[in-house]
């Protein structure tokens, strides 16, 4: 839920800035919110701070990071490519790592293991995603798909498909993590497929041409005086 809220507010910030003619900050806002969300998740998982009281406000850190990064990149007039590259490297790396972890952990009871295949596919995914984000994404529509599709797929796949797999598997705590990871991997892969397609093929929008309206037969300069008000009939 925190991830969805953080990314939504970051996208809102980016869209407001883009409406002013500059959409580069949206990438920095989203990436900062994503990194902040990962940090908050790790901190909560390792009990770095209490899960009650004023310390809960630290869970809102990704929102502040997203807003701050978006505004900072806007006023610094930073190019979009670095943020797009980091975003691509992160999500392609996550997809590769999850796929490799499922392969390495196929003999494990919970279905996941950070073995050689996980690290190899994760590194290859990060390199490929970074290069693609830095070189192939251009234009507002492409940036929108590039930034939104993978996170949406990750959250939707993990919650919907992963939850369905857990239910169909009899709600076994030993295998639930692998089932959620499978759902997240499928959703992320679909999202990355969509974002990659639009990055490589671009927008298909066309610019409408405005033709001058024809209101009647062309008139010579002399005949124009016949129809002018206050002039000669």
pTM over 0.75: no
pLDDT by residue, tens only, the chain of 233 residues: 554 555 555 455 544 544 444 567 888 999 998 898 888 888 877 777 777 767 778 778 888 888 899 899 989 888 889 999 999 999 999 999 999 998 988 877 777 888 999 999 999 999 999 999 999 887 777 888 898 889 999 988 888 888 888 888 777 666 777 888 888 899 999 999 999 998 888 654 433 344 444 455 544 555 444 444 455 44
Sequence-ordered alpha helix ranges (H) in 46-104:
61-76, 81-104
Residue 86 CA to residue 9 CA, distance in Å, equals 19
Burial of residue 163 (CB within 10 Å: 0-12, 13-18, 19+) is middle
Query: Domain locations in the chain?
Result: 1-78, 80-203
Residues 6+ apart with CB under 8 A from 89: 126, 127, 129, 130, 133
Distance CA 47, CA 108 (A): 26
């Amino acid at each position: 839920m925190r991830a969805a809220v953080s990314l939504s507010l970051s996208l809102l910030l980016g869209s407001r800035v883009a409406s002013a003619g500059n959409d580069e900050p949206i990438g920095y806002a989203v990436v900062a919110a994503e990194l902040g969300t990962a940090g908050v998740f790790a901190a909560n998982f390792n009990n770095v701070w209490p899960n009650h009281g004023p310390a809960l406000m630290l869970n809102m850190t990704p929102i502040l990071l997203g807003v701050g990064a978006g505004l900072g990149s806007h006023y610094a007039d930073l190019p979009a490519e670095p943020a797009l590259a980091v975003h691509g490297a992160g999500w392609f790396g996550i997809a590769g790592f999850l796929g490799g972890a499922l392969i390495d952990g196929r003999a494990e009871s919970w279905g996941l293991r950070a073995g050689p295949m996980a690290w190899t596919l994760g590194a290859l995914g990060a390199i490929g995603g970074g290069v693609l984000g830095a070189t192939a994404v251009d234009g507002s529509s492409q940036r929108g798909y590039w930034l939104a599709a993978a996170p949406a797929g990750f959250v939707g796949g993990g919650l919907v498909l992963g939850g369905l797999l857990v239910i169909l598997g009899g709600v076994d705590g030993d295998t639930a993590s692998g089932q959620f990871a499978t759902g997240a991997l499928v959703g992320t892969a679909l999202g990355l497929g969509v974002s990659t397609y639009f990055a490589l093929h671009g927008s298909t929008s066309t610019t409408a041409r405005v033709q001058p309206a024809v209101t009647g037969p062309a008139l010579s300069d002399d005949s124009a005086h016949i129809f002018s008000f206050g002039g000669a009939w």
